[in-house]
Structure 1
Amino acid sequence: EFSSNVTERPEELENLALQGNVALTDFAFLRSLTRLNTLNMAEMNLGGFDFNLLSSMPYLSNLNMSHSNISELSANISGKIIDLSGNVIARVVSNAFRCYDRYRYGGCEIDLSNNNITVIESDAFLDVSRVNLQNNNISIIKKDAFTEVAYVNLKNNSIRDGIHPNAFKGVTELILSNNDLSNFDFLQQLQSLRTLNLSHVPYFSRCTTSCKVFGTLRSLEILDLSNNLITELPVGIFSGLVSLKALNLRHNSISYIEYGTFASPTREPNWSPNRDAIAEVDLSYNKISELDFSLFTSGRSIGRLLLHGNEIQSIPDDIAAFGLSTLGLQNTRVTCANLVKLKLKSVSVVNDHDDNP
């Protein structure tokens, strides 16, 4: 038992760590801690915990209830940084988390990773800046589940076609890797999206000539399609991504690239291949043995091309004429003599995962 009189003035207590006290079951004392800022209740037995006990803490900013056997959430759980990871939560109800005005500066962060969540209700997260939901069992995400949430991590869930077209509002970074997605209609509503991770998504191994997943995500800058067993890139698949700066295609099975793969037919006024260049395309660890570098002049130019781990044997001396200024050639069959010639032509050659020549 924990008495509210354990301190002379419980209403002045700002930080409390109860981590690991699994025998503690009576939490009524929490009501008297009205000025609490940080509360650590990790690794406890909080099954059936009454979240209303926290309603008397208007200044509560940091709340850690990770690994505490929590199975249900109530509405209006408030805080700037909330860690509920490693519990057995099955559902995130409407209005579960709200980032109040006093927390808006710097944003609110919610960690619900490693639970057993299957459904995200409408308005579950309101004005929260970051939500981590990786390693759950989510299959359904309802309309307006994420309202003005900038960062959403849904890695390794059970999502196929259960995302409502209007599930996300204002998202700028979305991680959907390790899901067996089959319906991408919701992407067309994400006009503020800047970073999208779709690695380990089996759909893309079947995505061939009719593949038009991305449409016109005009703000998208970073796209990760690594580890998808992709064998071919349909012409035009990236054509609507007018802001694309980094494309990750590592660890696929690509052996051939068509002319026009990196074309941008949706051209803005004053369009030019250099002004709208893709800063980096990573094709490392595919099955490329030969590459016609002139294809990089058929649309948007590419500054940095990474070909680590492919079977390519030679690079033309005039590679700079194709707009390429940096190459990644580690673990390829390109000879040292060829590399020396590239250096003499002022072409930077970088190691894998290394920005320095």
Structure 2
Amino acid sequence: MVTKIIFTLATLLTYTNSEYIPPGPVYPCPNDSKTTLLYPCVCEKGSDTGLYIRCENTGLAVLSVGLGNIAGLGLPVERLLLKELKISNLFGPLFHRSTIRVLQIEDTPIRSIDQYAFAGVNRTLQELYMINTEIDVFPKDAFMILGNLSVLSIDGHKMTKLAKDIFAGSEVVGKLERLHLSNGLISDIPPEAFQVLKKLKKLDLHGNKLVTLKRNQFKGLRDTELLDLSHNSITKLDGSHIGDLTKLGWCNASHNQIGEIPRGMFARNTVIKVVHLDHNKIKKLDTNSFRGMRFLRRLYLQDNLISDIGRGTFSAVTRIGTVDLARNQIKKVDFQMFQQVKYAEIINLAENNITIIETQAFTDLYQAVVNISHNALSTIETGAFVNCNNMTLLDFSHNQLSMISPRAFDENSYAYELQVSHNEFRNFSQIPIQNMTGIQILNVSYNQIESIPKLAFPKLYELHTVDMSHNNLSEIFNAVFQNLFSIRFLNISYNSLELIKPATFGTIPTVLELNLSHNRLREISRGSLAKLVSCRLIDISYNVLEKLFQIPISLGELNVAHNNISSIKPNTWPTMNALLRLNLSDNLLTDSLQSDSFSSLLTLQALDLSANGLTKPPWEALSTLTSLQYLYLQ
């Protein structure tokens, strides 16, 4: 009976401690006893579809033995990587017995490939990648039998031209969907070269030496959706070159020498959605530039020489989402330039020579990012922004603005974030935020603002961050921030404030962080900050204060470093358990601290008294700090 009970308990414990162990791959790497058979190759990992094999720095004869042994074990290869081989001519029965799905040849000086080099794997090979080789003639005979190939990539080669019959009679045309002939020396491609590739989806010719495209250059490629001609020296691109690509949805012709966008350039490519024409020599745009491109969503024209944009240029692309015109030579944002682009998400006009934004330049935008930074903007006319609701970001930074017309924005136009830093504003009232009821972030730093006048802020219920740092502020009108019902972060550092009066901030129950550092503050009225009942951090470092002030009861961190405080009087602090960190470094406290200097700070954890001229540890003052964990006295 006892034996039976013990056996039952042992069985239960076995079931209790058991855990699920997932099965390994269907084709695991060979065990240690068989790994020598793979030499000079190694198995990186197994998978349910085959092994991942890598062979490096070897010759053709030794490689043939290793691949033959893998085939002899009956193991399929999902990916075979041949790297830095000592082979200039790929020939012989290297792959005859192998089952390989993906073949990748890298950094190998192959110049030619024998007609029957891929015999055997032609039944299974689906992807072939040749990277950084010495191939100077397209190996059409070797590829002819690859009837299952869907991806052919020759990246980094020495080919200077392609023959018109490179795929004539080839079995590869039946399934090839992606063709990459990139980073080479190709300067001439006959129009017939690709015409038999009826199922081709992507053609990549970037990084070659193409200068002139021929008429009907891509004829026959009616299913091609992606075309990459970037990083060539193409001087002209028009409808006669790419008109046969009727399903083209993405075209990259960036980093070329294209000088213009001719009439109807993409007129026959009616479903095109993304066009990259950046880093070219384009000088102007007009109403015919994008005609027929009604589905266009992304247009990249940055880093050109564009100085003239005709009225109504973008009227044909009403679905446009991105217009990037950065780093051109645009001098103004013209009347109705962006009138019919109501689906725009990003309009980038940064780093141009824009001096003026004219009336109705932007209309009917919603949640768009408008970047006009780093220009020479000095004038924004009345009605420049009409019905532009909730712009995600409106960036006017790094310009020459000294004022903005009070009616530059109509009653429906406002930005989630308004960025006007690095301008020449002197008066805060010259920044029109009266109608911006939905603004949440305002940055006016790095200007020359001298005062914040009465009624500078209307009643704003969503504004939570205001940055006024790096100005010349010397005066803040009483209770000017009390209309900001959601203010959380207020930065007034690096200014010229000398006095904080009792009513300067008034009652602001929502502010969490207040930064008044790097000013000239010599006095803060005792109760001026006490009504900031939710404040967690106050930074008043780098001023000339001689005495402390009453702090909010909920304050968690106070930084008054680099001031002239010489003593801490009794009852300076209210009895509080919120303050955790106090920085009094670089003041003039010397040995003046007494037993009641910190007695009301019940939960203080970190205290910095460094650089105060102390000659002995202030034991009496520290004796009441039962929660102190970090003390700095250097």
Shorter-chain TM-score: what band? 0.7 to 0.9
Which runs of structure 2 are paired with 1:104-183 in the superposition (5 Å)?
Answer: 108-125=345-362, 126-128=364-366, 129-138=368-377, 139-146=379-386, 147-150=388-391, 151-168=393-410, 169-181=413-425, 182=427, 183=429
Amino acid at match of 2:370: V
Indicate the residue corresponding to 1:269 in structure 2: none
Change (3 A) 1:242 1:88: same
Change (3 A) 1:157 1:348: farther
Change (3 A) 1:157 1:215: same
Q: Check conservation: 1:296, 1:323, Cα contact below 8 A.
A: no
- Once the two structures are TM-superposed, the CA of residue 54 in structure 1 deviates from its matched residue by 1.6
Q: Whole-Å Cα distance in 1 between the matches of residues 272 and 480 of structure 2?
A: 52
Change (3 A) 1:323 1:49: same
Which runs of structure 2 are paired with 1:238-249 in the superposition (5 Å)?
Answer: 238-249=481-492
- Once the two structures are TM-superposed, the CA of residue 117 in structure 1 deviates from its matched residue by 1.5
- Once the two structures are TM-superposed, the CA of residue 87 in structure 1 deviates from its matched residue by 0.9
Change (3 A) 1:162 1:311: closer
Indicate the residue corresponding to 2:230 in structure 1: none
From 22, 25, 48, the equivalent of 2:284 is 48
Indicate the residue corresponding to 2:84 in structure 1: none
3-state secondary structure, aligned to 2:481: coil
Change (3 A) 1:342 1:99: farther
> Are residue 196 (structure 1) and residue 442 (structure 2) matched?
yes
3-state secondary structure, aligned to 1:296: coil
From 530, 533, 541, the equivalent of 1:297 is 530
Q: Check conservation: 1:3, 1:29, Cα contact below 8 A.
A: no
Q: Whole-Å Cα distance in 2 between the matches of residues 50 and 6 of structure 1?
A: 26
TM-score (norm 2): 0.47
- Once the two structures are TM-superposed, the CA of residue 46 in structure 1 deviates from its matched residue by 1.1
- Once the two structures are TM-superposed, the CA of residue 212 in structure 1 deviates from its matched residue by 3.8
Change (3 A) 1:225 1:350: farther
Q: Check conservation: 1:42, 1:68, Cα contact below 8 A.
A: yes
The alignment yields a C-alpha RMSD, in angstroms, of: 3.4
Q: Is there any run of 5+ residues in structure 1 with no aligned partner, and where?
A: 265-272, 352-356
- Once the two structures are TM-superposed, the CA of residue 45 in structure 1 deviates from its matched residue by 1.2
3-state secondary structure, aligned to 1:39: strand
Amino acid at match of 1:152: L
3-state secondary structure, aligned to 1:305: strand
State the identity %. Answer: 21
- Once the two structures are TM-superposed, the CA of residue 349 in structure 1 deviates from its matched residue by 6.6
From 84, 87, 92, the equivalent of 2:333 is 92
- Once the two structures are TM-superposed, the CA of residue 149 in structure 1 deviates from its matched residue by 4.8
- Once the two structures are TM-superposed, the CA of residue 15 in structure 1 deviates from its matched residue by 1.8
Q: Check conservation: 1:76, 1:98, Cα contact below 8 A.
A: no
- Once the two structures are TM-superposed, the CA of residue 311 in structure 1 deviates from its matched residue by 4.9
Q: Check conservation: 1:148, 1:170, Cα contact below 8 A.
A: yes
Which structure is higher in RCO with an 8 Å CA cutoff and minimum separation 6? 1
- Once the two structures are TM-superposed, the CA of residue 303 in structure 1 deviates from its matched residue by 2.5
Amino acid at match of 1:196: L
Q: Whole-Å Cα distance in 2 between the matches of residues 350 and 188 of structure 1?
A: 44
Amino acid at match of 1:286: N
Q: Whole-Å Cα distance in 2 between the matches of residues 326 and 161 of structure 1?
A: 37
Deviates more, 1:249-258 or 1:118-127: 118-127
- Once the two structures are TM-superposed, the CA of residue 133 in structure 1 deviates from its matched residue by 0.5
Q: Is there any run of 5+ residues in structure 2 with no aligned partner, and where?
A: 1-211, 223-244, 565-583, 609-629
Deviates more, 1:232-241 or 1:296-305: 296-305
Q: Whole-Å Cα distance in 2 between the matches of residues 4 and 112 of structure 1?
A: 34
Deviates more, 1:235-244 or 1:79-88: 235-244
Q: Whole-Å Cα distance in 1 between the matches of residues 291 and 603 of structure 2?
A: 63
Change (3 A) 1:144 1:344: same
3-state secondary structure, aligned to 2:267: helix
Q: Check conservation: 1:152, 1:174, Cα contact below 8 A.
A: yes
Q: Whole-Å Cα distance in 2 between the matches of residues 308 and 342 of structure 1?
A: 23
Cα distance per residue 1:54-88 (max 9 Å; x no partner): 23222222211112111122325242122101111
Indicate the residue corresponding to 1:21 in structure 2: 256
Change (3 A) 1:335 1:328: closer
Indicate the residue corresponding to 2:432 in structure 1: 186
Amino acid at match of 1:127: L
Larger radius of gyration: 2
Which runs of structure 2 are paired with 1:199-218 in the superposition (5 Å)?
Answer: 199-202=445-448, 204-205=449-450, 207=451, 211-218=454-461
Cα distance per residue 1:293-350 (max 9 Å; x no partner): 532224665222123444557868x95x633122345666714999x96997445779
From 79, 82, 94, the equivalent of 2:323 is 82
Q: Check conservation: 2:560, 2:585, Cα contact below 8 A.
A: no
